[in-house]
Amino acid sequence: MASMLYRCFVLATLVIAVAAAAVSCSAACPFCSMQGQTLTGDINQASMVLYGTLANAKLDPNAGLGQGTTDLRIESVIKKHEILGDQKVVTLPRYVPTDKDNTKFLIFCDVFKGKIDPYRGVPVKATSDIVKYLQGAIAVKDKPIAERLKFFFDYLDNADIEIANDAYKEFGNAGYNDYRDMAKRLPAAKIAKWLADPDTPSFRYGLYAYLLGHCGTENDAQLLRKMLDDPDKRLSSGVDGMLAGYTLLKPKEGWQYSRGLLKDSSKEFMIRYAALRAARFFWESRPDVIDKKELVEGVSLLLDQSDVADLAIEDLRKWGRWEVCDRVLGLYGKSSHDVPIVKRAILRYALSCTDKKAKAFVDGLRQKDPEMVKDVEELLKLETNTAPVPPANK
């Protein structure tokens, strides 16, 4: 009974992990560290969005602690509802203490039973471009995504961090094919300036470097190489995008640099993982840049590194690279790789592999540990991507 409960728990956990991975990988920027709901999405969900100044906050002593009303003096209507009419001031059924620093507010509202129901307020500096930004975002919301992203590009370095991060999330939510061609027409000098600016948040390096790889020059390749060689820059979350951008501009030199990171087991895990992510990008999105056999050879360098071997094995499985079958199966008996996550990755590879040696391996393991084999088989069936694994050498 205990064994069955454990098995159910394992399967449930794995199902959740697979589903989460599918969602996070679906149509998202490969080198952005921020995705999620944007202000445009928030506006789409709201019945009405207003912008203005709060004033005349009043407590209602009969309505309970902290209850009351506050007036919103409307300066702009971002999204209108017929209930507003021509009103220039609306009274919100919330008590919001106001100060005298001229802070403005975006107020997101529903309309319930004929009344305005504000459910979210976003404070905004009076000098912010938020109204112009949101009106522009709404104007392009039904345009082709490349055109929309060109609009958001112009706000990536906005002084209002709320706007800058929102524009970044628009890129984070977009897939590579959404802006591959558009990126070629972006101003390389502007992107290079952002990358060279010490005040640029490090989490943006990946996107900026990756975009620069499409529109940059020889000098920009040198900038990306300098960043990659900088120990401080290499601690950022954008190393994968830097590697991709550098390789797009200089394929031979860029791939040799990534290969060196993949080979060097003394490098930090996150550095080697960044190189693996760059390799994935070229396999999945830009097979015209690096030969697939070179990518397989580079990723295979990770097989002997126990802390990252499971990730490499999983990629080789998804890519259908059965020519490394002997190397992968040979890891199963090594003491350095004798951990559940690596053993399961090897088994997943063997179950997917078309090589006769893999079938013999699975048959032998089924005799020794039938429950583990059954668990992994069921997980493979639950994968959202049901397309057949491609044959090797294509």
- Please give the pLDDT value at position 390: 54
Low-confidence ranges of the chain (pLDDT < 50): 1-26
Distance CA 21, CA 381 (A): 15
Residue boundaries of the structural domains of the chain: 39-131
- Asked if residues 81 and 47 have their Cβ atoms less than 8 Å apart, the reply is yes
- Please give the pLDDT value at position 389: 53
Q: What CATH class does 39-131 carry?
A: mainly beta
- Please give the pLDDT value at position 34: 82
- Please give the pLDDT value at position 7: 37
- Asked if residues 68 and 57 have their Cβ atoms less than 8 Å apart, the reply is yes
The three-state secondary structure class of 38 is coil
Question: What is the pTM assigned to this prediction?
Answer: 0.85
- Please give the pLDDT value at position 61: 78
Tens of pLDDT, residues 63-122: 667 688 899 999 999 999 999 999 999 998 888 887 666 789 999 999 998 999 999 999
- Please give the pLDDT value at position 94: 85
